[in-house]
Amino acid sequence: MATAEDKPRTAGSAASTNSSAKAAAKTSGAKTAKKVAKKTAKKTGKATKQTARSSRRNRPGPRQRLLASATNLFTTQGIRVIGIDRILRDADVAKASLYSLFGSKDNLVVAYLQELDEKWRADWHALADQREKPEDRIIAFFDLCIQQEPDNNFRGSHFQNAASEYPRPETDSEQRIRDAAMEYRRWCRDTMAELLTERFGYASQTLADQLMVFMDGGLNGAKMSRNTVPLETARGLAKQLLLTAPMSYNI
């Protein structure tokens, strides 16, 4: 039988046991929490790595990234002001890749203009192919400019802007840049001349030149005024010009 003197010891012993149990439970809980956290971190790390690998697999190749970066920078800030390092940083591409793919910045500029030209032609066809009359297909040139300029922040023709940065080419590569910019304009003029032949039964190079002047002027005016009014005016002049046959029978 326990004596009165033994009771405090028993109570103290029980308290000590409870305290030890709590400490053990706390330690066990902490270990469990650490294990859970470690497993979670491991899973998260794996998921992050898998996402990164998937992202790398799915993103465009170096050539596409370089062209996308060049297009964004050249159209918004200009060509000469943008250096190679800025393009590489934005595209996340090594310098060796740029030189193996394009050879130089000038060649990248040519590729940028060619891609821009292809897109512009495709956009024109998407609009013009909905129209039957040749005069309406000609007006599609002006309608496309009116549609695109607000989205382009009224920067005018990217081809005109590029040509203006190389007014007097000093190297063969600079001449190729200017030629690439002019190719867009030649295509527009030639296409207009073909449509004029359909409209009037004979070609008029003079009328095609006049239409190009209207479009060039409308784009420059929109760039200056930062609205589409000059382009809408140019469109109206083009429609008026197409109402009657040209006086010149220049083939």
Residue ranges of domains in the chain: 59-103, 106-241
Provide long-range contacts, Cβ within 8 A and 24+ apart, for 28-36: none
DSSP track, 140-168: HHHHHHHHHHHHTTT---HHHHHHHT-SS
Whole-number pLDDT of residue 201:
87
Is the pLDDT confidence value at 141 over 90?
Answer: yes
Long-range contacts of 48-55 (CB under 8 A, 24+ apart): none
Q: Which residue has the tokens 């050249």?
A: 74
CB 113 within 8 A of CB 67: no
Question: Was domain 106-241 assigned CATH 1.10.357.10?
Answer: yes
* 106-241 has the same fold as 59-103: no
- Banded pLDDT at 171 (limits 50, 70, 90): very high
% residues pLDDT > 70 (the chain) = 75
Q: How far, in Å, CA of 13 to CA of 193, rounded?
A: 107
CATH of 59-103, one of 1.10.3720.10, 1.10.10.60, 1.10.287.610, 1.20.1560.10: 1.10.10.60
What are 127-140's pLDDT values in tens digits?
A: 999 999 999 999 99
Model pTM score: 0.74
Please identify which residue in the block is written with the tokens 């800030």.
77
pLDDT band of residue 188 (cuts 50, 70, 90) is very high
Are residues 178 and 242 in contact, defined by beta-carbon separation less than 8 angstroms?
A: no
| CA gap 238, 219 in Å, rounded | 14
| Interval 5-61: pLDDT, tens | 444 444 455 445 555 555 555 555 556 656 656 666 566 555 555 544 545 567 899
Integer Cα distance of 60 and 97 in angstroms: 14
pLDDT of residue 124: 98
